[in-house]
A and B are shown apart, each in its own frame.
Chain A
Amino acid sequence: MNSIDLFKMAFHNLWRKKTRTFLTVLGVIIGTSSIVVMLSLGIAMDQSFQEYIDSMGNLNIIEVNSSGRYYMDEQASKNQKEMKLNDDAVSKIKAIPGVKAVMPIKRASMKMAVGKMIGYVSVIGIHPEIMEEFDFKIDRGRLLLPTDKEVMIFGSQVAFDFTNPRLRNDYGGFSDKPPVDLISNKMILTSDMDYGERRSNSERDKDYKPPKPHEVKGVGILLESNSDKDWNAYMNMSTLKKILKEDEKFDRQNNRKRNKDENEYGNLKVKVENIEKVEKVQEQLREMGFQAFSLTDMLKSMKEQSRKTQAILGGIGAVSLLVAAIGITNTMIMSIYERTREIGVMKVLGADLPDIKKLFLIEAAMIGFVGGICGLLFSYLVSYGLNKIGGGFMGGMGGMGGEIGISVITPMLSGSALIFSTVVGIVSGYLPARRAMNLSALEAIKTE
């Protein structure tokens, strides 16, 4: 028998008993949609976790601190291995398989002046060539170039820190407009914390010679990223090192202690090829004696939690699909009883045994498939409704799930739901189909 005929015949048989077919399909609809809706809640949860973590920074990036300063890392303290974050360490880390780029960070708190406006700025020295790797995106102006020297770019929030010391009450307020434009050719960068504030100068030692201010240029503002990048200013690593070295002389005169090795970095950021490798690289970094932290750690525990929730929710949904599966089996058995004679006639007329089995399997699969499709449509409806109604509640939870909603049906979920419901149909139809196949043709015909 060719398959078109089989399908037609199966459809015909189902169509003959519309009510019964409809009721059985209804069971599958309820089963499918309960599973899909339940899982969609779990997926939405998962995604909002992901979004939450994404908003905190890049998941591929591991932050590395030297273990010397913090003794929280048990392993490192046991090993008594103090690793310095210098160029040597950077090249070692670069050699770890899976590491894509390493960004050493040298941080300096400095003061800047633009016109009359003055602000404290945390200046970070980086290598311009790896900026793109670390998701520096420019809003206005341009990124740093390797050839740039006294050139800086700023995080989107830096400008808000500038105030005019002459206007005492003006702290910039909370206006939307930054008080200064940081894309400017005339900027002063200095490590003299008293720069621009005359009143304190008089209290100072007369020997005091402030470090020389440096002239710099501002060339770009970074796109707002909701991460720590918004609050920092960036400049070429070598220039920053040079500036710090120069200023150090003045510091010594002022007996300020600076025991840091100038080649040592505050911390490093390591970019890993993909999220899967983050854990491995992190492990290796710890073995090397560094402190390593990444958002993947956090995501992992959150995912664990949402997986548990999904399993519970999915389990609840699965119960109703199980009931639907029993319904399919029941319908098929009933239908075989009714059609015993018909099956017998088909056998006597020379229907192949596998064909008879296939016929019943197709009928059961059709119930599952149609139920799956309708259930899926219904799920989309429910999901839409949930997001409409539930969106309001979740809005209050601050960021969490704000844009994602509380129910997400991914194409993957809908596809697998459809396959699953069809498979459930086939599985529940299998025994009845076997039974139909094994009916004795003679017995079947004798039934009056």
Chain B
Amino acid sequence: MEIKQGEVCCFLGTSGSGKSTLLNLMAGLEKPTKGTIKINGHFIQKMTEKQLAKFRQKYVGFIFQSYNLLPALTAVENVSLPLTFRGIGKSKREEISKKMLEAVGLKKYITHKPTQMSGGQQQRVGIARAFVSYPPIVFADEPTGNLDSKTTHEVMGLMLEMAKEHNETLIIVTHDKSIAQYADKIVYILDGDIQKIEEKNKEENYEKEGN
């Protein structure tokens, strides 16, 4: 299986099918028992923990099902976390983070704590956090699992928009077929095996987005 840069790829499968595991393998969170994963020329399975941390810092953004914002931090602080880990100064990273929050439509919520926000708002903070360092790859693990259908579409639209803007690869894991419709490439997974890979015409995809 191969995913190109700028592609929106969706792993579709029932729970327990191994789609999340695949995502974790690609993000270097789990070690594969066999096989190789190559991202931008690096073999993920060969990296040490330290190298993986650096790799994630540089190449990967992550969106979680349960948002995983740090409850003690405000929205802007949460968004700037990846920049903090890179050692970027406070004023600069907050400036970038604020712009990011604006882009996801949370300008008013900059100093709110996660507990003061709704699920959709929290996930939007999560998205801002994933994209704030402009990583080439963004992984999203059931990003809309905890959201209602209206918010789901808002959030999906936002994610695609951001990914397209900087030609970033977006990899989404979901069991929701409607979400899979947003993707350029759908990978069907069942019991740990890839059943089929469905590639979509890009123009067709845009049309769908328009709808």
Contact = CB atoms under 8 A, between A and B. Distances in A.
B62 A348 contact: yes
Given A1-B84, A1-B85, A5-B90, A352 B60 contact: no
Interface residues of A, number: 26
Nearest to B132: A349
B29 A348 contact: yes
Contacts, number: 66
B53 A353 contact: yes
A262 to B, nearest CB: 86
A351 B30 CA distance: 17
A347 B28 CA distance: 11
A442 interface: yes
Nearest to B64: A445
A110 B129 CA distance: 100
Interface residues of B, number: 28
A12 B74 CA distance: 12
B64 A350 contact: no
Contacts of A348: 27, 29, 56, 62, 68
B49 interface: yes
B89 A2 contact: yes
Nearest to B30: A442
Nearest to A4: B90
A351 B60 CA distance: 12
B70 A345 contact: yes
B173 interface: no
Interface in A392-442: 440-442
B56 A345 contact: no
A440 B66 CA distance: 18
A341 interface: yes
B50 A353 contact: yes
Interface in A346-375: 346-355
Contacts of B53: 347, 350-353
Given A1-B87, A351-B53, A352-B85, A345 B68 contact: yes
Interface of A is mostly: helix
A342 B64 CA distance: 13
A350 B56 contact: yes
B54 A352 contact: yes
Given A1-B85, A5-B90, A350 B57 contact: yes
A205 interface: no
B72 interface: yes
Given A16-B72, A442-B24, A350 B85 contact: yes
Given A2-B89, A5-B90, A441-B29, A349 B50 contact: no
A448 interface: yes
B13 interface: no
Contact of B29 (A346, A354, A442, A448): A442
Nearest to B59: A350
Contact of A5 (B58, B62, B68, B84): B84
Nearest to B27: A348
Contacts of A349: 56, 62, 81-82, 85, 129
Contacts of A440: 29
A345 B67 CA distance: 10
Given A348-B27, A349-B56, 5 more contacts: A1-B84, A2-B89, A16-B72, A348-B68, A352-B85
Interface of B: 24, 27, 29-30, 49-50, 53-54, 56-58, 60, 62, 64, 66, 68, 70, 72, 81-82, 84-87, 89-90, 129, 133
Interface of A: 1-2, 4-5, 12-13, 16, 341-342, 344-355, 440-442, 445, 448
List the 7 closest A-B pairs by CB distance, nearest first. Answer: A350-B57, A350-B56, A442-B29, A351-B85, A345-B68, A2-B87, A349-B82
6 contacts: A1-B87, A2-B87, A13-B72, A346-B85, A349-B56, A442-B30
